[in-house]
Chains A and B, each alone.
Chain A
Amino acid sequence: MSNQMTKKREPLFHIVRRDNMPMLAAWGYRIGAFVLALLLNAVFVWCMVRVDPITFYSTMWEGAFGSESYIWATLKAAAKLLCIAVALSPAFKMRFWNIGAEGQVLIGGMAAAFVMYHYTALPTVVLFLVMIIASIIAGGIWGFLPAFFKAKMNANETLFTLMMNYIAMNVVDYFYDKWRGFRSALGILNQNTKIGWFASIWKDNDTDGLMTNEDFWFIVVILVIMTLMFFYLKLTKQGYEISVVGESHNMARYAGISVNKVILRTMILSGAICGFCGFLVVSSQSHTISSGLASGYGFTAIIVAWLSKFNTFTMAGVSLLIVALEKGSALMANTYGMRGFSSSAADVMVGAMLLLIIGSEFFINYKLMFRKKDKEVQAA
């Protein structure tokens, strides 16, 4: 018996954790994965629709950045994705799996739309204040509930936040159907008066330009949030507490940090920023409400936040990349739709790319130790 045991061969390799890979080498792996993904996608497109890689990528580029209107569309969508990812970053840094961003954005947007729909008589400044506060409170509640039950009784936050998404969607559907009445769709809110729109702030001096562009201000506000969050996580005491709680609850308790308080505070913050994002989208982009408000970015943002290692500036780059692939695919679908290319290819390509990039994390964190030749073992 024991003889058999010793004869069993050592496995081909075993896995060892790396201590710290130099930053440059780590980025080398990530960029390698990215390039590999670009190649794979080109092969995929060639096999499916016979479009050569150069035409393919130039069309993709054109679709994302080819004209001024394309650039705006890309930047707007990327900003929305970025805003949600930034909102998620403190929760993720705390290792709290907030899968509920989609619902938090929706409920925030819903609150803003509710104010916009019902309180049209308020003066502009007051109206905006009420809209902002309502959306922040709504999002905050959606973040608070799972955090409360996580802190008090350790309820699984992934599943809890996931369910909250669908409750928010149904709440939005409820108001959508109620306001729609017998019309086929709700349409734009306050189309003529523009009450509650970003545009209503400067409606008197009606000039064309960056200063009176709703999209421009949408992006600017989100960039400000991104910068603030970066410093909140890096420089403040609260940001430090978040990272300690993320490392280990016991360590945090030992250091005198109230873990429950940090969990609640951070999740309310995370939900509130998502809710605020809902307000931004309703007020400056969609000017209406529907359960498609967040366009699934609540889920994509989770991956963005995780990939970027809680660095909000990296998030901006990753968001732009994902959105560029989406917009590029849309143009590809327009051009080569006859050959069976549909815009849903974006999800396939982004999915494959993300899998490869997150797969490279393994090689950054671990290394494979191969079995040594038998001779060496004997010598040792």
Chain B
Amino acid sequence: MTVDILIGWLQQAIRFAAFIMLASLGELLIEKSGSLNLGTPGTMCVGAAAGFISVFYYCNSTEDPNAAIIILLALGVSFVAATFMGVLFGFFTISLRINQNVVGLVMTMFGCGLAEFLSVYFIKSESGNVRCQEAYDVLTAKIPFLSDKLGYVSDILFSYGFMVYATIALIVGMMIFLYRTRAGLNLRAVGENPGTADAAGINVTGYKYAAACVGSGLIGMAGIFCVMEFKSGAWATADVPAIEAFGWLAVALVIFALWKPINLLWGAVVFGVCYWAESYLPQMGIVISTDIVQMLPYVITILVLIVVNLRKNKENQGPASLGLPYFREER
């Protein structure tokens, strides 16, 4: 019995981890370029709302929705909508040189409001839930054979939608990009010391913009991913604050992972286990306040922040110019 409960817990944790991981991956890319984007929650909400609304309209307008179009719409629209948020963030922080924290917080406020407004406006159902079954089926399609024939291995490793594996592939891709390519090296140089990077002929503004746009796009895709995999394809305007909270968790996860993509993989699962403790601990007869367990990710993140600074090991610290503005004329 306990084994089944543990497996169920782990499955839910991984399902939770996957979209947090994707959002963190986007934020990590942005932070590697030296921008601290506190607009992550807003970007995620906008991506979720835009992606869901487009799929919802498409599914309701045709008799026989096409799977490829659903995937394209859901991921494409959320990516583009979130990239728009990234461009705004980039324009204000990079071109207009406004403080990143302030712009990020305004973007979060703006994005969450926009997501709620759009969902009420287009779905015309302020309180009621709507669900998009077709999109859910398509976007959480499981891998045939592997997902049901291998016993516990199937349950633990292959019982998730294909996007979970796509996210893992993206993380591997990001590692190769950051640590094995010239462009990745340049990006990290911009985040560490934009002045030196500029002197070496790297286009600082270009890299910062590109990171903000692509990173925001990934965060937006995490939004629609959350609606599909985690909320089972159901959408309610009241869910927006929950997505916002996940966005903040994603910001925390970047620190927890010490700004290394590989650590996102297991870090997100740890967060997921804490998040689901509420449902699974009582089943196992363990009585502990779930509020305290849900606090753990944040407490651990703070401890990580302290330990990293205590050890003074440059390898494990965030990009040196994180959160600092860069003006070529003011050095």
Please report A residues at the B interface, Cβ cutoff 8 Å: 15-17, 48, 97, 99, 149, 153-156, 158-160, 162-164, 166-167, 170-171, 173-174, 177-178, 299-300, 302-303, 306, 337, 340-342, 344-348, 350-352, 354-355, 358-359, 361-362, 365-366
Contacts and interface: CB of A to CB of B under 8 A. Distances in A.
A299 B114 contact: no
14 contacts: A48-B121, A97-B323, A149-B306, A170-B294, A170-B295, A173-B291, A174-B291, A302-B105, A344-B116, A348-B117, A350-B109, A351-B107, A358-B102, A359-B92
Nearest to A352: B110
A300 B112 CA distance: 13
Contact of A163 (B98, B122, B298, B322): B298
B108 interface: yes
Contact of B98 (A170, A302, A358): A358
Interface stretch (B151-159, B164-172, B177-185, B248-256): B248-256
A345 B117 contact: yes
Contact of A170 (B99, B114, B291): B291
B323 A346 contact: no
B62 to A, nearest CB: 23
A171 B305 CA distance: 21
A97 B294 CA distance: 25
Given A174-B291, A344-B113, A348-B114, A158 B98 contact: no
B102 A306 contact: yes
A299 B105 contact: yes
A345 B309 CA distance: 42
Contacts of B106: 303, 351, 354-355, 358
A158 B302 CA distance: 11
B64 interface: no
Contacts of A342: 116-117, 120-121, 126, 237
Interface of B: 36, 38, 88, 92, 96-99, 101-103, 105-114, 116-117, 120-122, 124, 126, 237, 248, 251-252, 255, 289, 291-292, 294-295, 298-299, 301-302, 305-306, 309-310, 318, 322-323, 329-330
A15 B110 contact: no
A160 B113 contact: no
A166 B110 CA distance: 21
Contacts of A171: 291, 295
- Those 8 A-B pairs whose CB atoms lie nearest each other, nearest first: A347-B113, A351-B110, A344-B116, A170-B295, A342-B120, A174-B291, A362-B96, A340-B121
B96 A166 contact: no
Contacts of B318: 156
Contacts of B111: 351
Q: Which of A16, A170, A359, A361 has the most CB of B within 10 A?
A: A170
A159 B98 CA distance: 19
B92 A167 contact: no
A302 B292 contact: no
B101 A158 contact: yes
Q: Is the interface of B mostly helix, strand, loop or mixed?
A: helix
Max chain A CB contacts within 10 Å: which of B106, B107, B289, B298? B106
Contacts of A362: 96-98
Given A155-B309, A299-B108, A358-B92, A167 B323 contact: no
A167 B295 contact: yes
B117 A170 contact: no
A202 B102 CA distance: 42
Contact of A159 (B96, B99, B120, B255): B255
A299 B109 contact: yes
Contacts of B299: 163, 167
B120 A355 contact: no
B98 A345 contact: no
Contact of A347 (B36, B112, B124, B289): B112
Contacts of A302: 101-102, 105
A93 to B, nearest CB: 14
Contact of A346 (B101, B113, B291): B113
Contacts of A359: 92, 96, 98
Contact of B329 (A15, A154, A167): A15
A303 B98 CA distance: 12
Contacts of B113: 344-348, 350-351
Nearest to A340: B121
B301 A163 contact: yes
Given A15-B329, A17-B329, A162-B251, A351 B103 contact: no
Contact of A99 (B88, B101, B305, B306): B101
B306 A355 contact: no
B305 A97 contact: no
Given A99-B101, A170-B291, A306-B99, A155 B306 contact: yes
Contacts of B88: 355
A348 B88 CA distance: 14
B294 A154 contact: no
Given A15-B329, A166-B298, A351-B109, A358 B103 contact: yes
B110 A174 contact: no
